[in-house]
Amino acid sequence: MSTAAAATTSPRRTVRIAIASSRGWGLFLAVFTLSNIVGELSHPGFDANLWWIDLRFADPGINRLLMLTNALGLLAYALCPRWAPFRGWLLSGLLGVLMAVAALNAWTFWRLIAAGGIYSQSAIPLSAAILLVLVWILVGVRQVQVVRQKGDSIPRQWFDRLILVATVLVAAVAFPLAQMVCFGLTDYRRPADIIVVFGCYVRPDGVPSMALSDRVKTGVELYKAGLASKLVFSGGPGPGAVHETEAMRTLAIKLGVPGDSIELDRDGLNTQATVRNLVVRSDFQQPPRVLAVSNYYHLPRIKLCFRRAGWEVCTVPARDSRRLYYQERLMLREVVALWWYYLNPN
């Protein structure tokens, strides 16, 4: 076949871009979903697919079957879009179910906001963004069907593969960023057993940094509101003689918290260490209800660690005194950290 003839049987570039990018999003969600299903085998009860869609209202068996079927369908679409039309209709139906669930999740979020059950600085929940992604994947699936009905071919050229790979990379960055903005900026405060405040930089002279001060003040606010009777400050050594937790304790006492209501975790060198130390030291008969306080971009990783340890946690973003000037750099670093924690659970 000549080059000119081949060009007439290939979809337009805009259509090819739409199909390739939707396949990229499909590949990302498929791999993420399958890895979560496999991960649940090593951490029973930890359903990481809650990070993108909430199916807890369904029977666990139906939940897993639906997620597995969708993941396999998305994987097949991403890797081999040249399939029979009826399979496209099957995947369209499965995507329709997930879209309905994502819409229900978004509606639930807005209903809780309206009722005062939660507070959020983000008007758009992650489930609304997921709904848009699912719609875009469905558009790609339907475009493939249209192309096949016209008798055109689905090309496998470097351009299409480049768009697919680029989309997966964008998704790998956009997904944790969306978690930080949507989930991290939502305040889930409610009565708990303990309030855990995560440490941060202390200046060499022992004065808490603004970020650390904001975290402690938010923890104290929760304590004074009567949401828990114990404050746990967790952190590591500072650059000077004052330990992060000592600086946090000093500030909390100045703010009116009795010393006997404060517990220090001086070995909380990182997020995993803090959660591990709490689990080991806990004198509760069963996992306690936890309010975790940190800057909003840190909260998705905190939630991940607590859920993996089998503890329920409600996160509360620290009330910022002002915007951190290096905030974008911290968020990009958190993207890497969140994926690292996800792939390295120990």
Sheet holding 262-265, edge to edge: 262-265, 231-234, 194-198, 290-294, 313-317
- Mean residue pLDDT of the chain comes to 89
Write out pLDDT tens, residues 287-304.
889 999 999 999 999 999
What is the distance of C-alpha 207 from the center of its chain?
32
Rounded to 10°, the helix 85-115/60-79 angle is 130
Range of weakest confidence among 55-64, 128-137, 266-275, 277-286: 277-286
Write out pLDDT tens, residues 36-51.
998 887 777 677 888 8
Q: Could you say which DSSP state residue 56 is in?
A: T
Mean pLDDT score, 305-312: 89
Write out pLDDT tens, residues 86-101.
677 888 999 999 999 9
Cα gap 81→27, rounded to integer Å: 12
Specify the pLDDT at position 11. 66
Write out pLDDT tens, residues 147-205.
777 766 666 678 888 999 999 999 999 999 999 999 999 999 999 999 999 999 999 99
Give residues with Cβ within 8 angstroms of 173, minimum separation 6.
335
Write out pLDDT tens, residues 270-288.
999 999 999 888 777 788 8
Specify the pLDDT at position 154. 65
Specify the pLDDT at position 301. 96
Q: Residue 233: CA atoms inside 13 Å, Cβ hemisphere, count? A: 33
Specify the pLDDT at position 3. 44
- Does residue 26 have a pLDDT over 80? yes
Write out pLDDT tens, residues 206-250.
899 999 999 999 999 999 999 999 999 999 998 889 999 999 999
- What residue spans in the chain does CATH classification 3.40.50.620 cover? 188-343
Specify the pLDDT at position 327. 85
Task: Tell me which CATH code domain 188-343 carries.
Answer: 3.40.50.620
